[in-house]
Amino acid sequence: MKSIGRSFDGPRRAAVFGTLALIVGLTGMAAPVAAEPTGPTQSERHIALAVSSLLRREHLTKHAIDDEISLRCETIFLKMLDPWKLYFYQSDIDAFDKYKNDLDDMVKRGDVSFAYLVFKTFLARIDERVKMVEELLGVSHDFSTDEEMSIDKEAVSWAKTPQEARERWRKRIKYDLLLLKADKTEGQAALDKLRQRYRSFAKRMHQTDNDELLEMFLTSFTSAFDPHTTYMSPASVENFEIAMKLELEGIGASLQSIDGYTVVNKIVPGGAADKDGRLKPEDKIIAVGQDEQGESVDVVDMKLSEVVKLIRGKEGTIVRLTVIPVGSTESKVYAIRRAKIELKDSEAKAKVFEAGRKPDGSPCKIGVIDLPSFYMDMSGARRGLPDYKSTTRDVRAILEDFKKNAVDAVVLDLRRNGGGSLTEAINLTGLFIGEGPVVQVKDADGRVQPYFDLEPGMAWAGPLIVLTSKFSASASEILAGAIQDYGRGLIVGDHATHGKGTVQSLLDLGQQLFRVPNAPPMGALKITMQQFYRPLGESTQRRGVLADIELPSLTTHLDVAEADLDYPLPFDQVEPMKLKPYGYVSPTIIEQLRRQSDQRIAQTEKFQQVRKNITRYLEQKKRKTISLNEEKFLKERAEVNAEKEEEKKIEELNNSSNQNTIERDYYLDEVLAIAADYLNLRLVAQAK
């Protein structure tokens, strides 16, 4: 199975709902059982052996498993656990460093004991820090002093003594209290909230099981080769397959963990919870029971992945949720019958807009297709199902509908598309070009294999705009690069796409080890085995696909691209393929459209606000410290909050995964105007 997608886990601070005093003891409920790692198992040894063997044989770079990989592995693992250097002491790091040149040999022997050594120390330090937090919450803090806290991860060193750690945590707690005060939570409520937050974090960490620890450690090891090679536990493989086929069995609710509580983030339209009608966003789920009479399990402080396991289940079965509805202090029990849920948020959707007028005076009809991923039901495809879920099939149907409705131009929105199936990327590109090469793929031995669209004609031959952002990655870049190389359409959006030019394959470790049907679930290795290149030979690796027309956007300036990750592979090139350009785009056309767009942007207030936000962000990005003086902190925070609502609206295009419809906003208005200008240039040229 070929996968060229990736997920983006940007930094997020969850909103805080309600107060923690709402929850009292619950009777008749089973307590969650902590699943602290027990120590390396024989199964883990086999998995580590398989991973190291596959890396040596199959990884694109053929990088030796050596001391360099070992040192990278240690660095990644420690950063994964303690990125702000708040928990470990320097003495802990010194003890771990004894293994820094040995991890390569250990993993090759199937020895993952280093992970348990580090994590055992980590849990001990967490418990110490929670006690420290309790003490610090019991003393008064002077918010009038002029002191600062470092926010530069690279400059921060590990604490050498308990006193140094305590001072660092004193500032951290002071910062947390100021944040809560800025959000109108102070006094005892703020103290209770922080106390519960750190207690909950400690409990969740102690619930880490062997599978999760192995996944963290082996992913640290595999990521030393490149950032997209990862070990996936059986649970992660299941979630990956759900994401690709856009279907699961459950109640249809997106959940998040906030200060120890499982909180409903979103109800999936058409799902079981939506049809039931009682469960709402911001409700807290405090217990889960199975069937009509099964014992309920207390899920307060339970890690989210375990709560999800309890709630998911076979279609037609019943799950009982004990819920504290938003705004209430009383709990209620909702029995919901699980159902099959289609994850429509991630499938292609479309809408037709009018923008500008054609030379004959009639309105320009622009069809917009929002495509969040290149999805494919891989299981259905393997079984030969005729109607398996497919990006290309869905988009083809949309294009047919556009033609029936006399749409003049198409905008394909890939701004939040992080990739997906290589097959779908090739087939979807083929809807917009005739026969010809779409992408070239090079393997570890240097062999270059071109992939062609073999279907004559186009599903859409009219004007095309591909809308991209820094979050458009991998499969999105294959399509955008091919469209640009063929001169088939315009690329509009951020300065460049993400810059991921590698192809991963998902290797089932159970199958690799046992070579039998129905092998035991042992997870999978998502491994970089190939690099892809545009038809004209350039890789998108690190560079991405440059926009023909760039629109102002904060995302252009975020450090979320391939080049910002640890150990990305380098850019390179292969020989160009022979292809016949369509000539629908030229430097002259681009320059004219860019000039017209610039004039509109200069007169659009919200784009000017974007530019102000960019300037403010770049200034903040340079800062290495933050003030812990209350007056200065709250003043600065108030200035930031004053712009937050506007900034949310302005940048929500890159956080729109919860949208079920395509909404017209200032940004899309400009894209539609560009599409109308482009259409008219094409119509005038055709008339000549």
Residue 18 is predicted with a pLDDT of 26
Is the Cβ–Cβ distance between 589 and 681 less than 8 Å? yes
pTM score: 0.85
Q: 666 - beta bridge partners?
A: none
**Cα–Cα distance between 199 and 507 in angstroms, integer?**
38
Question: Residue 347 region, left (φ>0) first, then alpha (ψ -120 to 50), else beta?
Answer: beta
Residue 644 is predicted with a pLDDT of 53
**Cα–Cα distance between 427 and 482 in angstroms, integer?**
12
**Cα–Cα distance between 591 and 581 in angstroms, integer?**
19
Fold of 236-342: Pdz3 Domain (2.30.42)
Residue 673 is predicted with a pLDDT of 98
Neighbours of 163 (CB within 10 A): 9
Residue 121 pLDDT > 80, yes or no? yes
**Cα–Cα distance between 671 and 446 in angstroms, integer?**
40
Q: Hunting for tokens 């929670």 — which residue is that?
A: 130
Q: What are phi and psi of 193, to 5 degrees?
A: -65, -45
CATH code linked to domain 344-500+525-687: 3.90.226.10
Annotated domain spans of the chain = 34-225, 236-342, 344-500+525-687
Give the residue numbers marked as catalytic. Answer: 474, 485, 500
Residue 244's H or E segment, with its range, is helix 234-245
Is the Cβ–Cβ distance between 129 and 169 less than 8 Å? yes
Nearest to 563 by CA among 657, 495, 505, 466: 495
Residue 499 is predicted with a pLDDT of 98
Range 620-638 average pLDDT = 89
Please provide the DSSP assignment of 424-484 as one string.
HHHHHHTTTS-SEEEEEEEETT--EEEEEE-S-S-S--S-EEEEE-TT--THHHHHHHHHH
Residue 442 pLDDT > 50, yes or no? yes
pLDDT by residue (tens digit) across 344-373? 777 999 999 999 999 999 999 999 999 999
Banded model confidence at residue 660, pLDDT cuts 50, 70, 90: low
Give the pair of three-digit tokens for residue 401: 């509908």
Q: Name the maximum alpha-carbon separation found in the chain.
A: 81
